[in-house]
Structure 1
Amino acid sequence: MYKVGIIGYGVMGKTRNTAITEIKRGKVIAISEPNIGADFEGIPNVSHEEIINHPELDVIIVCTPNFLNKDLTIRALNAGKHVFCEKPPAFTGADIEEIKIAEANSGKILMYGFNHRHHDSVLHMKRLIDSNEYGKVLWLRGRYGKSVTADYFNQWRAKKELAGGGILMDQGIHMLDLFLFLSGDFDIVKAEVSNLYWHMDVEDNAFVILKESATGKVASLHSTMSQWRHLFSLEIFLEKGYMVLNGLITSTMSYGEETLSVAKNRSTAPAATWQDEVITKYVNNNSWRYEMDHFFDAIDKNQPVTIGNSDDALKLMRIIDKVYEQKDF
């Protein structure tokens, strides 16, 4: 059983600890969180430095505000620890290139917490797409929005130097990652990034169009914090059908039920007759356990991470680089 240290013991740190406990493959023996006392439920609370240099730890999980992710990941890898880091992996693609050097030199496992990839609904979509039963992906559309309260101004997420960006870095990054996971890479990026309502130094809306020039495949994303309600919607249209995922299971269920609709198009163009739509409602969120199992499997077998590795992170952050290059505020 691996001995684990968690840097950042807020909601995500506790969520990771719960998943590790449930799958019985590790034990958290130290945490580092400035906002609680000397220990938490019997787990010693020490400094970041003590976690990184802890002689007994095999694994370090990074669940900190965004601006700390890159530095802590590199330091933990250099200290000979396996590392699991929450999103965003860093602020830029160049940051990821630095991290990859530390990863290669360490010989340790590095995985990033793009948790949405591990939802049962998304994994089912991935299997169907990879089977080629529905033909190639033609286009994708993703909407990911939420409402924020007035105290958002006082949170670290509202400060560019701490968050790296606004709603795109917070939520939209997940949808972009799903585009890459489910359909492959894109080489053309067009975007409009605005702060029309909240007037902060980070964006409150991002409209992104992606295209793969070789195939013509297109994806569109709208990530927003002026939605005034929580919303998650991912639509994928293929040559022989479609997949529509609405809602996402979370602890508060604020995004509604997680419902996947899949159908085949058995008609001849230009007619459009949709038959045999299959609707599946997901009631359990197994993603946290799946994700930790994938991480520990890679360590056990000394094999590369296949879902959420540093190559995935680099592709994603290069797209985000291109989006932010086009913002005009």
Structure 2
Amino acid sequence: MGVGIIGCGLIGQKRASNLGPGGNLVACADVNLPRAEQLALPFRAQAFSSWRELLALPQIDIVIIATLHDSLAEITLAAIAAGKHVLVEKPAARSASELEPVIAAAKTNNIKVRVGFNHRYHRSLQKAKSIVDSGVLGDLMFIRARYGHGARLGYDKEWRANPQLSGGGELIDQGPHLIDLSRWFIGDFSEVQGFAHTYYWDMPVDDNGFMLLKTAKQQVAFLHASCTEWKNLFSMEIYGKDGKLDLSGLGGSYGLEKLTYYKMLPQMGPPETISWEYPMADDSWALEMAEFYQDIHENREPAAGLHDAYQALKIIDQIYKDSGYDHLA
């Protein structure tokens, strides 16, 4: 299938290197034309400074949108109108309301739109999902998860610190992954409490987001996204009545990807423990893309789609409102 990439920064480059055998890079577009040309060159693809020129190419079947947050929804909507299937990076929009016309257009035009929740495809999370689905943990009670990084010098001057471009701070940056994974394991949340605040960085967006989310069954996800973590961290614990899963690391600067299963024994006491480690390179991007090709070929809705992004954004919107942030005013 012919693929076009709009936004040729680090994520666009990562997407290009993980297209796999199902896709062929036809064109790249970026407001910085030399960056588009650099990405296009090894693939012998076309390069444009205008994403509209890329969308006009008939040989493109799928568009990957890896731009700043302020243009994700606009470009996705235009791609749908052009008859292209879309993989749009999370959060897919700056707010839930910004995503609503995109959802309607995708449905009307029978276009497949996948949202880049690649964390679902990490080996440890795939294994965790299979364990949860097997029922050995028993009824799930709650999830506790943290995701954070230490940012870098000048972070408060980058585009993520500009609310018009980003739609918010850490809560809309790493927060969507935590919300999506929690929904993936325990379902939709009917009650939302949270707090977003700027503790350290001199910027008008939040550097920490805290969430207490509750399902209709009273299952809870306690989540914390932070860019004052100082040492990059990913941690997720999933508690069932018969056992617990402890996930840590995502590879690279986040440390070794690892999953530990603690099985409660009838006599209680120290649990039976099994661990899996995944020191190999991250293949989540390639798996996600391969599944998207299959979605299109089989005319099925993507497992991680616009509905999932919408649910995450509704939670983020509410917490920003409750915390006194109005990023898009």
Q: Are the aligned partners of 2:156 and 2:202 in contact in 1 as well (CA < 8 Å)?
A: no
> d(CA) in 1 for partners of 2:131 and 2:257?
18
For residues 28-43 of structure 1, the aligned pairs below 5 Å read 28-37=25-34, 39-40=37-38, 41=41, 42-43=44-45
Q: Are the aligned partners of 2:243 and 2:263 in contact in 1 as well (CA < 8 Å)?
A: yes
**Residue among 181, 186, 192 paired with 1:183:** 186
> d(CA) in 2 for partners of 1:33 and 1:89?
18
1:25 equivalent in alignment to 2:22:
yes
SS at match of 1:176: helix
Matched AA of 2:227? M
> d(CA) in 2 for partners of 1:293 and 1:92?
28
Matched AA of 2:255? G
Percent identity reads 34
> d(CA) in 2 for partners of 1:242 and 1:3?
43
> d(CA) in 1 for partners of 2:276 and 2:51?
43
> d(CA) in 1 for partners of 2:5 and 2:176?
23
1:137 equivalent in alignment to 2:147:
no
Q: Offset of 1:79 from its aligned partner?
A: 0.6
The equivalent of 1:319 in structure 2 is 315
> d(CA) in 2 for partners of 1:304 and 1:124?
22
Matched AA of 1:322? Q
The equivalent of 1:235 in structure 2 is 237
Q: Are the aligned partners of 1:125 and 1:182 in contact in 2 as well (CA < 8 Å)?
A: no
TM-score normalised to the size of structure 1? 0.93
Q: Offset of 1:48 from its aligned partner?
A: 0.8
> d(CA) in 2 for partners of 1:227 and 1:303?
39
**Residue among 127, 132, 157 paired with 1:154:** 157
TM-score normalised to the size of structure 2? 0.93
> d(CA) in 2 for partners of 1:192 and 1:326?
7
Q: Offset of 1:34 from its aligned partner?
A: 2.6
Query: Structure 1: any 5+ residue segments left out of the alignment?
Result: none
Q: Offset of 1:36 from its aligned partner?
A: 4.1
SS at match of 2:229: strand
Deviations 1:211-244 (A, max 9, x none): 11x3211111111111111111001110100000
For residues 240-251 of structure 1, the aligned pairs below 5 Å read 240-249=242-251
The equivalent of 1:222 in structure 2 is 224
The equivalent of 2:123 in structure 1 is 120
Extract structure 1 runs of 4+ deviating beyond 2 A: 34-40
Q: Offset of 1:197 from its aligned partner?
A: 1.3
> d(CA) in 1 for partners of 2:310 and 2:90?
12
Q: Are the aligned partners of 1:260 and 1:279 in contact in 2 as well (CA < 8 Å)?
A: yes
SS at match of 2:18: helix
Q: Are the aligned partners of 1:129 and 1:136 in contact in 2 as well (CA < 8 Å)?
A: no
1:297 equivalent in alignment to 2:294:
yes
SS at match of 2:103: helix
The equivalent of 2:98 in structure 1 is 95
Deviations 1:44-63 (A, max 9, x none): 21121101221221111101
> d(CA) in 1 for partners of 2:284 and 2:60?
24
SS at match of 1:25: coil
Deviations 1:160-179 (A, max 9, x none): 00001101111121111110
Deviations 1:230-267 (A, max 9, x none): 11100111010000001112xxx111000110121113
C-alpha RMSD over aligned residues = 1.4
SS at match of 1:177: helix
